[in-house]
Amino acid sequence: MHLPLALLAFPLLAAAAQEEAARPVRVRTGATGLALLVPAPQETQGLRPLFNGEDLSGWVQKNGTADYRVEDDCVVGTTAEGSPNSFLCTDRDYGDFLLMFQVKVDPRLNSGVQIRSLSTPDYRDGRVHGYQVEIDSDGDSGYVYDESRRGWLSTERTNQVERGAFRPGEWNSYVVVCEGDHIRTFVNGYPVADLTDGMTAEGFIGLQVHSFDGESPAEVRWKNLFIKELD
């Protein structure tokens, strides 16, 4: 499918999905020289919410003891002392899709969103494993890590904070596109990962709260989670 290389109009996308109304394309040039596009109707049609803003219906926690709750239309994940990585996962699998979300993470905490991920009794006692889109104030945000399996798949990485793509301590907008063995990610409109890997064709989506040894709990918040399944 066609996807603009600079989806800096994320709030409009979210509004369009909520209202089931698309806006016409408008193009202008930002200070960075990137083309800022308001998405065309075909890019918003078919988007549906993954999170209802009220409760965690449709989600199930796997691994760890981090706390997940709903607050101010957000999913809030809070670290728990001594807990390994925790994941709040969709109760169904997805294969080819466009995923959109906004995230705000404590700069002390590493996090991520699992895509096409698995948890089976015969693999490390049910440990969540699979593709993870990184959320990291140290600069790796948007790159793809293979959680509990092969490690970094994005082997050549540019610091996304220094690049201006990821803003620590603020809300950041992500777009993830999975089509066949092709995975692409965008952070605040900047293209980040573009890789080909065919190990897992489908699986659940999961919101990670990483293990944490800080003196006080740390939080990560997600909102405006939408998905469009692709033919």
DSSP lists the bridge partners of residue 132 as 114, 145
Predicted local confidence at residue 56, as pLDDT:
97
In this structure, is residue 71 part of a structural domain? yes
Predicted local confidence at residue 5, as pLDDT:
42
Domain count across the chain: 1
In this structure, is residue 17 part of a structural domain? no
In this structure, is residue 33 part of a structural domain? no
Structure tokens at 181: 């063995």
At residue 100's C-alpha, the angle toward residues 98 and 103, to 5°, is 150
CB 68 within 8 Å of CB 76: yes
- Look up the CATH number of the domain holding residue 53: 2.60.120.560
Number of other residues whose CB lies within 10 A of the CB of residue 97? 18
Pairwise CA distance, residues 177 & 219, whole Å: 26
Q: Where are the alpha helices (DSSP H) in the chain?
A: 10-19, 41-44
Structure tokens at 77: 């994940």
Predicted local confidence at residue 43, as pLDDT:
60
In this structure, is residue 73 part of a structural domain? yes
Task: Name the residue range of residue 124's domain.
Answer: 47-229
In this structure, is residue 158 part of a structural domain? yes
pTM of the predicted model, to two decimals?
0.83
Predicted local confidence at residue 13, as pLDDT:
55
Predicted local confidence at residue 31, as pLDDT:
40
Predicted local confidence at residue 35, as pLDDT:
36
In this structure, is residue 215 part of a structural domain? yes
DSSP lists the bridge partners of residue 112 as 134, 208
CB 145 within 8 Å of CB 113: no
In this structure, is residue 97 part of a structural domain? yes
Predicted local confidence at residue 162, as pLDDT:
86
> pLDDT tens track of the chain, all 231 residues?
445 443 545 554 555 444 543 343 333 333 433 433 334 555 667 899 999 999 999 999 999 999 999 999 999 999 999 998 999 999 999 999 999 999 999 999 989 999 999 999 999 989 999 999 999 888 889 999 998 789 899 988 888 898 888 999 999 999 999 999 999 999 999 999 999 999 999 999 999 999 888 778 999 999 999 999 997
In this structure, is residue 140 part of a structural domain? yes
CB 212 within 8 Å of CB 105: no
